[in-house]
Amino acid sequence: MKNIFILFVVLCSFACNNKEVSFQQTPTGPILGFSKDTLYVREKDPNNINGNGIFQLQTLPAGRQLHLRFYDSSAQIRFSYRGQVLANDQPVIVTGEWNEIFCTVDRSGLYAVDVSLKDQIGRVHTKKLMIQAAAAQRPKASLTWKVDERDLAARRYYFDAGGCIQPYGKILSYHYQIAGQPIISSTDKLQYIFHQKGAYTISFYVVDDLGQHSDTLQQIIDVL
């Protein structure tokens, strides 16, 4: 009787262990997640100065080779992963839990992209990524100036272009024409000395990171 009881315990233990092993060998399906459900970018922005086109994508289980696929029916969107431009609807292998993706859009608008993740045994998880692409607006120029109060001749002027606006990108250069002399500055501050009295025409515009020009401002300064 004692031997039968011991045999029963051993069989039960073996059965329980088999269930545990069977459970561990059945991995959960792939899980796909985004750091942002809606990605806000600027059209025609390959430099991505403000970092808006970068988002994080989560793929689980981590540490396994999973196939990631983007499908864009508009043909206006491109994704890059580790410097490689991804072909539309073609799978790419990802292995980490969090993956950095870079997105560029050719034309402004609202887009829906199907993103799918496939594991090694063929199971697929699909999510929709929304992309809001703003129009690449031209920068707006603004210029003020003042006389150096310490200059008794009142001919040293300080120009301030800090009010120029490019909300989606960056202003790279500031272009002046003072008394017919062209001046290009990489900063929004400029100091200029007039050597003679008179009325001087000042022309000014800015250029942003996409090469877009603002309207040109024209003012007249009376140097006394």
Pairing mode, strands 92-94 and 38-42? unpaired
pLDDT of residue 168: 84
Lowest mean per-residue pLDDT among 12-16, 52-56, 111-115, 133-137: 12-16
Higher pLDDT, 137 or 154: 137
Q: CATH says 29-134 is which class?
A: mainly beta
Instruction: Flag whether pLDDT at 142 surpasses 80.
Output: yes
pLDDT of residue 1: 53
Q: Count Cα neighbours of 41 within 13 Å in the Cβ-side half-sphere.
A: 31
SS3 11: helix
SS3 48: coil
Q: pTM to 2 decimals?
A: 0.72
pLDDT of residue 17: 52
pLDDT of residue 123: 94
Give the largest CA-CA distance in the chain: 121
Q: For tokens 């991804």, what's the residue? A: 86
Q: For tokens 């600027």, what's the residue? A: 42
pLDDT of residue 21: 46
Options 1.10.10.1100, 2.60.40.10, 3.30.750.210, 3.40.1440.10; CATH of 144-223: 2.60.40.10
Domain ranges of the chain: 29-134, 144-223
Read off the pLDDT of residues 21-60 as tens digits, 9 standing for 90 and up.
Answer: 444 455 578 999 999 889 999 999 988 888 889 999 999 9
pLDDT of residue 64: 83
Q: Do domains 29-134 and 144-223 have the same CATH topology?
A: yes
Q: Which residues contact 12 (CB under 8 A, 6 or more apart)?
A: none
Instruction: Flag whether pLDDT at 15 surpasses 70.
Output: no
pLDDT of residue 47: 85
Taken as a whole, the chain contains a residue count of 224
The C-alpha atoms of residue 100 and residue 116 are separated, in whole angstroms, by 16
Within the chain, strands assigned E span 31-34, 38-42, 54-60, 66-71, 77-81, 84-86, 92-94, 98-105, 109-118, 124-134, 144-147, 156-160, 171-178, 181-185, 189-193, 198-208, 217-223
pLDDT of residue 22: 44
Read off the pLDDT of residues 91-105 as tens digits, 9 standing for 90 and up.
Answer: 999 988 999 999 999
pLDDT of residue 11: 45
Do residues 28 and 61 touch, judged by C-beta distance below 8 A?
A: yes
Instruction: Flag whether pLDDT at 191 surpasses 90.
Output: yes
CA angle 208, 192, 182 (to 5 degrees): 50
> Which ranges in the chain belong to alpha helices (H)?
2-24
Higher pLDDT, 137 or 151: 137
